[in-house]
């Protein structure tokens, strides 16, 4: 693992007003090396803190390989800029900590990145929940592999199959054997971890996905909550129906491709359409899942700042981070 491919988050992004009556998320964040040097500090002052980790993927090669519009390599820094300025709920600065591990920058082929990054993610998940910021959705395979490795090594939770949910306009199950890209993360995961996790597609738009890919998922008995069905019954009712009878303590990885939102909600995206979810629907869905599942990992992908308007999409992604962390820490 080449640590030179990791870049530390700029300290100036950790916005802090230094005002005890006006905390911001940046005041709870610290930049941490990916692999701490245990020789420097024999005492770990963070052991008694409730932590959440963040890292990013400053790379959009997978989008280019899938004929999408590039720009997502800029997203991790841009999303942080807005997130760390947001106001948290009333919590004490001594008890909570956001561990920011910086960004992975492109340096290997996509398959090598799965091999090298996923064990590190699994290690972090054993200590605390994580948020990852893409980059292209090809990193959904990296995150999914890390999540599965963590689950399979976690004897307490491994008795129950984990759940992976893809919020997306696209199915992203193109044949990975032709080369990994932003359209292949879940075909890769389903083939490399066969029958080891439950999988759910949410927000799919029929005009965005091949009928052959639909059939491939149906043959694997993967449920698909498409946008038409969500419009008929509502996002929470749809999730309740499809997840009825599943355990509340089920480990979960939520993959949020920003193109699940409508273009009016998230214009800064490599692929966006006027149809799609809105902020209220996604916030409600995420909050419901955080109550009803053990959501250990949230990945947000395909935000593209160069294609955005007034940073609208980056701010939307920051709001999703805010919802996730507030629910984790006030649960």
Work out the average pLDDT over 278-298: 97
Q: What is the pLDDT of residue 297?
A: 98
Q: What is the pLDDT of residue 197?
A: 97
Nearest to 132 by CA among 302, 290, 250, 272: 302
Mean pLDDT of all residues belonging to the chain:
90
CA distance 71 to 63: 9
Work out the average pLDDT over 145-171: 89
Work out the average pLDDT over 289-295: 96
Work out the average pLDDT over 300-313: 96
CA distance 216 to 205: 16
Write down the domain spans for the chain: 10-29+47-329
Q: What is the pLDDT of residue 42?
A: 38
For residue 218, list its beta bridge partners. Answer: none
Q: What is the pLDDT of residue 62?
A: 87
For the domain 10-29+47-329, what is the CATH code?
Answer: 3.40.800.10
Backbone angles phi, psi at 281, to 5 degrees: -65, -45
Give the range among 44-48, 227-231, 319-323, 326-330 with minimum mean pLDDT.
44-48
Give the distance from CA 54 to its chain's centroid.
Answer: 10
Nearest to 139 by CA among 150, 147, 127: 147
Q: What is the pLDDT of residue 39?
A: 45
What is the pLDDT confidence band of residue 43, given thresholds at 50, 70 and 90? very low
What is the pLDDT confidence band of residue 17, given thresholds at 50, 70 and 90? confident
Does the pLDDT value for residue 93 go beyond 60? Answer: no
Q: What pTM does this model have?
A: 0.94
Nearest to 261 by CA among 187, 203, 330, 324: 203
Burial track 142-157 (b if 16+ CB lie within 10 A, e otherwise): bbbbbbbbbbeebeeb
Q: What is the pLDDT of residue 271?
A: 84
Query: pLDDT of 166-183, one tens digit each?
Result: 999 999 999 999 889 999
Structure tokens at 195: 């029958």
């Amino acid at each position: 693992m080449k640590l030179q491919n990791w870049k530390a988050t700029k300290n100036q992004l950790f916005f802090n007003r230094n005002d005890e009556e006006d905390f911001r998320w940046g005041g709870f964040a610290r930049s941490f090396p990916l692999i701490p040097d245990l020789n420097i500090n024999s005492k770990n002052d963070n052991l008694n803190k409730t932590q959440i980790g963040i890292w990013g993927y400053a790379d959009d090669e997978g989008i280019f390989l899938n004929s999408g519009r590039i720009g997502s390599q800029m997203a991790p820094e841009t999303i942080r800029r807005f997130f760390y300025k947001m106001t948290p709920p009333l919590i004490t600065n001594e008890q909570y900590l956001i561990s920011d591990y910086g960004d992975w920058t492109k340096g290997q082929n996509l398959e090598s990145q799965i091999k090298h990054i996923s064990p590190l993610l699994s290690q972090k998940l054993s200590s605390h929940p994580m948020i990852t910021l893409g980059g292209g959705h090809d990193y959904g395979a990296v995150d999914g592999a890390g999540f599965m490795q963590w689950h399979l090594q976690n004897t307490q939770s491994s008795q129950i199959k984990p759940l992976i949910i893809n919020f997306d306009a696209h199915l992203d199950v193109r044949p990975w054997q032709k080369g990994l890209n932003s359209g292949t993360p879940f075909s890769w995961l389903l083939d490399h971890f066969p029958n080891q996790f439950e999988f759910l597609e949410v927000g799919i738009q029929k005009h965005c996905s091949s009928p052959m890919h639909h059939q491939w998922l149906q043959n694997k008995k993967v449920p698909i909550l498409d946008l038409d069905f969500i419009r008929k019954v509502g996002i929470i009712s749809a999730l309740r129906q499809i997840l009825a009878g599943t355990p509340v303590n089920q480990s979960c990885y939520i993959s949020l491709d920003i193109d699940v939102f409508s273009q009016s909600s998230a214009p800064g995206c490599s692929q966006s359409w006027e149809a799609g979810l809105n902020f209220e629907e996604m916030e409600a869905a995420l909050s419901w899942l955080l109550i009803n599942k053990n959501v250990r990992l949230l990945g947000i992908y395909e935000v593209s700042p160069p294609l955005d308007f007034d940073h609208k999409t980056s701010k939307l992604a920051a709001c999703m981070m805010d919802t996730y962390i507030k629910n984790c820490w006030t649960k």
